[in-house]
């Protein structure tokens, strides 16, 4: 048995503080392998390095693992990168212990060689970490040599994915901040969005957990921590195979009283499906619409039309379930005409919230990265210097941003720039509101009176 300290380095609160689910899953895998594990969250600590030092001193770990969730904040107008924080925390660990330092997480896995060299950590885990981290600790404990970077030999099947080992202090912090914690019903994504790293991180097919295992997690979180609000962090909740409906049916079969939200692909989602999800606890959904007209949807490789997104919105309104559309302007194929068309299209989305972004993060391993190199936006080498964003050569970014701002101005259910939304959320948090918060901005039409009323 070894003593392993796991550290979440994420400090972003945008759009709200998010429970470090990956850390909890790795913790569960290590405990199942016979190790003693402690979890430390830098955000929950108030970004206090002295508390990390105290944790290291008290726990005396044999290994320290650092998780890196985000490369940047996805806001081209106020870009912030996070790799320097990881490097700083590696330095803090080095000052306190000679234990090997292992870095992993989704952001690390996007640029593993560069981040490993930049941070100075001893080892890095690329992709799913449950098995590789156990293998690495075993080999190092036995005095074997191990490579600096480790990849899993295959992706886990659904029944091999560990249930998260939640930590009481972390649950208390995140429920206090956002009112919810995270769960995952499946991994992978078969869709071809040009900017997205999910297929390279989790594979290009669905790997679904048993609905019963998901329900077990919900029941355990309720029983052990009193949590009844969740966010399903699947890349897309509504898979083509209908696994998402089986999860909802299992929640209903067991009579689990929970409320939850998720990411929905606005294609093919029907009102009767939403009715089932609502009965199972769905109270709001974030829609990956991502572009506002057919030309830019094609440019982003979305695989659906704006008419389909409009149909999805109508289904949500009919079921009186709040939904929000997230839209990125300035992507491949964007022109002055498509900006105007997109803004006009967004006016058709009634009783919903729209969050707009300017530009798209350029991530290594994506089709957008290849395009950005071809068009001369970036060199062929991924850089850690600062976040890079794609903006179509067919538009003037300042003029585009001004048009979006004018279209959205003074309307509480239209948010641009992203920092404006964060300011509004911060105010609501100070008044004691928790949760997604944007769902409170939606007013549905009054239902017709029933006969005899």
What is the DSSP secondary-structure string of 203-270?
-SS-EEPPHHHHHHHHHHHHHHH---EEEE--S-SS-TT-HHHHHHHHHHHHT---EEEEEE-SSS--
- Say if residue 449's pLDDT is above 90: no
- Say if residue 448's pLDDT is above 70: no
Task: In whole angstroms, give the CA distance from residue 69 to residue 128.
Answer: 13
Task: In whole angstroms, give the CA distance from residue 446 to residue 453.
Answer: 14
pLDDT tens track for 357-384: 999 999 998 999 999 999 988 887 766 6
Q: Determine whether 424 is exposed, middle or buried from the number of CB atoms within 10 Å of its CB (0-12, 13-18, 19+).
A: middle
pLDDT of residue 292: 98
Please compute the mean of the pLDDT values over residues 112-139 and round it to a whole number. 95
Peptide bond into 273 cis (omega under 30): no
- Say if residue 450's pLDDT is above 90: no
pLDDT of residue 383: 66
pLDDT tens track for 233-291: 999 999 999 999 999 999 999 999 999 999 999 999 999 999 999 999 999 999 999 99
**Residue 116, C-beta contacts closer than 8 angstroms, at least 6 positions apart:** 103, 108, 123, 124, 148, 149
Measured over the CA atoms of residue 205, residue 206, residue 209 and residue 210, the dihedral's sign is: negative
331 and 291 in contact (C-beta within 8 Å)?
A: yes
402 and 94 in contact (C-beta within 8 Å)?
A: no
pLDDT band at 447, cuts 50/70/90?
Answer: confident
Closest CA to 24 of 249, 225, 228: 225
pLDDT band at 141, cuts 50/70/90?
Answer: very high
How high does pLDDT run on average in the chain?
A: 93
- Taking each continuous run of H as one helix and of E as one strand, the counts in the chain are 17, 17
pLDDT of residue 404: 98
Name the least confident of 11-20, 156-165, 245-254, 395-404: 11-20
Paired strand residues for 258: none
**Backbone phi, then psi, for 30, in 5-degree steps?**
-70, -40
- Say if residue 313's pLDDT is above 70: yes
Task: In whole angstroms, give the CA distance from residue 61 to residue 5.
Answer: 6
* Rounded to 5°, angle at Cα 391 from 387 and 395: 155
Task: In whole angstroms, give the CA distance from residue 86 to residue 202.
Answer: 23
Task: In whole angstroms, give the CA distance from residue 274 to residue 277.
Answer: 5
Cα distances from 237 to residues 109, 311, 354, 434, in angstroms, run 23, 18, 19, 23
pLDDT of residue 379: 81
- Say if residue 421's pLDDT is above 80: no
**pTM to 2 decimals?**
0.94
Please compute the mean of the pLDDT values over residues 291-307 and round it to a whole number. 98
- Say if residue 212's pLDDT is above 60: yes
* Domains by residue range for the chain, with CATH: 3-151 (3.40.50.280), 180-441 (3.80.30.20)
């Amino acid at each position: 048995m070894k003593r392993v300290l796991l550290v979440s380095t994420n400090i972003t609160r945008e759009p709200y503080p998010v429970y470090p689910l990956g850390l909890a899953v790795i913790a569960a895998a290590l405990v199942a392998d016979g190790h003693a594990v402690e979890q430390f969250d830098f955000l929950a600590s108030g970004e206090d390095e002295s508390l990390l030092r105290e944790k290291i001193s008290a726990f005396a770990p044999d290994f320290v693992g650092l998780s890196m969730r985000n490369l940047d904040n996805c806001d081209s107008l106020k870009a912030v990168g996070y790799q320097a924080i990881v490097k700083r925390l590696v330095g803090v660990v080095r000052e306190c212990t000679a234990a090997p330092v292992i870095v992993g997480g989704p952001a690390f896995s996007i640029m593993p060689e560069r981040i490993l060299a930049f941070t100075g950590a001893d080892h890095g885990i690329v992709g799913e970490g449950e098995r590789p981290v156990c293998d690495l600790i075993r080999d190092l404990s036995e005095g074997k040599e191990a490579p600096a970077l480790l990849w899993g030999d295959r992706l886990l099947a659904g029944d091999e994915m560990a249930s998260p080992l939640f930590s009481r202090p972390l649950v208390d912090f995140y429920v206090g901040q956002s009112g919810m914690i995270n769960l995952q019903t499946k991994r992978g994504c078969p869709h071809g969005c040009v900017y997205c790293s999910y297929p390279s991180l989790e594979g290009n097919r669905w790997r679904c957990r048993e609905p019963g295992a998901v329900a077990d997690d919900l029941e355990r979180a309720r029983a052990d921590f009193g949590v009844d609000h969740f966010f399903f962090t699947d890349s897309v909740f509504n898979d083509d195979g209908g696994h998402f409906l089986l999860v909802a049916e299992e929640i209903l079969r067991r009579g689990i009283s929970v409320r939850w939200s998720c990411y929905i692909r606005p294609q093919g989602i029907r009102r009767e499906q939403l009715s089932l999800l609502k009965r199972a606890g769905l109270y709001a959904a974030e829609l990956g619409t991502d572009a506002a007209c057919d030309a830019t949807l094609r440019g982003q490789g979305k695989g659906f039309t704006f008419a389909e997104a409009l149909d999805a919105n109508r289904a949500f309104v009919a079921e009186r379930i709040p939904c929000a559309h997230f839209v990125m302007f300035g992507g491949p194929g964007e022109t002055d005409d498509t900006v105007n068309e997109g803004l006009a299209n967004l006016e058709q989305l009634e009783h919903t919230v729209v969050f707009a972004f300017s530009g798209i993060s350029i991530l290594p391993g994506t089709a957008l990265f290849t395009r950005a190199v071809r068009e001369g936006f970036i060199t062929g080498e991924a850089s850690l210097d600062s976040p890079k964003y794609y903006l179509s050569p067919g538009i003037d970014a300042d003029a585009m941003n001004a048009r979006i701002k004018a279209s959205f101005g003074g309307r509480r259910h239209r948010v641009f720039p992203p920092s404006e939304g964060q300011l509004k959320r911060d105010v609501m948090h100070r008044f004691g509101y928790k949760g997604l918060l944007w769902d409170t901005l939606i007013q549905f039409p009054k239902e017709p009176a029933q006969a005899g009323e």
